[in-house]
Amino acid sequence: MIEGLQELEGELERFPKSVLEEFQRTRIRMQQRLSDAYLLEWARQGAAIARQPVRSWEAASEYFRVSPQILEHLTPMQLMEWGRHGSALCGDSPTLAVAFFRASPGSVSYLKGQRIGGWADLGRSLYKGTWKSSALSVRFYEGTPLLVEHLTYPDLERFVSLVETLSRKSAELATDCLR
């Protein structure tokens, strides 16, 4: 085993078992496609997500679960960037990060690698620290696979701007736009 991975695996044992199980399940698939350095960085990134406060272990579990699917569409460097964006979202709200990671397999094939950060920021722009804005942002991420199938990225930006404007008057109406 790569030096450092065993230590990370031990650290992941502190969290609910789904985190370690997802890591172990996907590590072998990731190891086949990543250099040792990227594999270690990927594992460290997942552990760092899990270490964030308040149920961030759920986001880490989702990060590990979907990573092999993401790597089918992104370069290893882009994969690390995707993970950093999800980690930043987790710092705002683990719920946002879970939704971001969960929606990623259906979204990244349509988004160019360089658009991943912009996509993360679009969802973050809908989040204002309230439960209603959290639900709106989560709904945006959940709906992204369908949206990016039919909208260009500039159209997606305009649509999110409209939804964000609507949310100032009615979070419910804004959420309905994403259904």
pLDDT tens by residue, 15-32: 999 999 999 999 999 999
Q: What end-to-end distance do the CA atoms of the chain give, in Å?
A: 45
Average pLDDT over the chain, rounded to whole?
A: 95
For residue 53, the model assigns a pLDDT of 87
DSSP the chain: --TTHHHHHHHHTTS-HHHHHHHHHHHHHHHHHS-HHHHHHHHHHHHHHHHSTTTHHHHHHHHHHHHHHHHTTS-HHHHHHHHHHHHHHHHH-HHHHHHHHHHHHHHTTTS-GGGHHHHHHHHHHT--SSHHHHHHHHHHHHHHHHHHHHS-HHHHHHHHHHHHHHHHH-HHHHHHHT-
Flag whether pLDDT at 113 surpasses 70: yes
- Predicted pLDDT of residue 137: 97
Q: What is the pLDDT of residue 114?
A: 85
pLDDT at residue 89 in the model: 98
pTM recorded for the entire structure: 0.96
pLDDT of res. 32: 95
pLDDT (0 to 100) of residue 90: 97
Tens digit of each residue's pLDDT (9 = 90 or more) over 56-106: 999 999 999 999 999 999 999 999 999 999 999 999 999 999 999 999 999
pLDDT digits (tens, 9 = 90+) for 140-177: 999 999 999 999 999 999 999 999 999 999 989 999 99
Segment 121-131, tens digit of pLDDT = 999 999 999 99
pLDDT score recorded for residue 3: 85
For residue 164, the model assigns a pLDDT of 96
> What pLDDT, on a 0 to 100 scale, did the predictor assign at position 2?
84
Long-range residue pairs from 173-177, CB within 8 A, at least 24 positions apart, any chain: 174/126, 174/136, 175/135, 175/136, 175/139
Q: Mark residue 152 as left, alpha or beta (left: phi above 0; alpha: psi -120 to 50; beta: remaining).
A: beta
Q: Check whether 1 has a pLDDT greater than 80.
A: no
